[in-house]
Amino acid sequence: SLFIYLVGHGGEGTFVTSEYELLDAADLDAWLDTAQQTIPDFVALVYDGCHSGSFVPYLVPQAGKTRLLAVSTATNEPAVFEADGGLSFGYQFFSYLFNGGNFYDSFVHGKKSIEGAYDYKQTPQIEGNGNGTGNEKADKEIAQSIKLGNETKTAGDIPRIESVSPAQTLTGGETSAIIYAQNVVDADGIQEVFAVIKSPDYSSGSSDKP
């Protein structure tokens, strides 16, 4: 089998490999087609970057070959990396995977983490049945059948937050508000809890610029 991880900035059907070089989705597909002529098992690819969903229609495998894709966005969406990358699809995906999770459960964890962390839209996609369309039931079933390594559960687990402070608006002369995370639990204990705070007029900017 072959496992590929791409992380960085992307555009429509492209991935930035250096200051002067782009990787085209069609070229990557051709390389993978060639590679899978001699790879007896599956190819799995995780791509975390802006417009990463635009790669899904390109990376359709040849008949009889299994190619599993997990991308961090839909076609036209930006990918966000905050808190030194800790708040990103890829970080959350691999945190779960390295803790013994399977490919599909790791995707779901990354998807839920990123969807719950931001006010703007970022929609991770998974594709495995080779039709170039993500997030279908068949994709889930194929992803659940793929095993990476021994999938050995470690003693630790992913921290869980029972609840957080509700949305609130400051009015009149109010200048402060209380925010909280309640009942944060983890088998190994909690070292820290942090919040990412944005101004009301925050904008991530154009997804065309890293």
Supply angle C-alpha 143, 127, 149, rounded to 5.
35
Q: What is the overall mean pLDDT for the chain? A: 88
What value does the mean pLDDT take over residues 81-102?
Answer: 87
| Number of helices and strands in the chain (H, E) | 4, 9
pLDDT tens-place string over residues 38-76: 999 999 999 999 999 999 999 999 999 999 999 999 998
Burial (Cβ within 10 Å: 0-12, 13-18, ≥19) of residue 177: exposed
pLDDT at position 83 is 79
Confidence category of residue 196, pLDDT binned at 50, 70, 90: confident
Confidence category of residue 116, pLDDT binned at 50, 70, 90: low
pLDDT tens-place string over residues 12-45: 999 999 989 999 999 999 999 999 999 999 999 9
**For residue 1, pLDDT beyond 70:** yes
Angle at which helices 103-117 and 137-145 pack, to 10 degrees? 130
Q: Are the C-beta atoms of residues 65 and 18 closer than 8 Å to each other?
A: no
Rg for the chain, CA atoms, rounded: 19
Q: How far apart are CA 120 and CA 38, in angstroms?
A: 42
When mean pLDDT is compared over 95-99, 102-106, 196-200, the highest value belongs to 102-106
Burial (Cβ within 10 Å: 0-12, 13-18, ≥19) of residue 19: exposed
C-alpha 95, offset from chain centre: 11
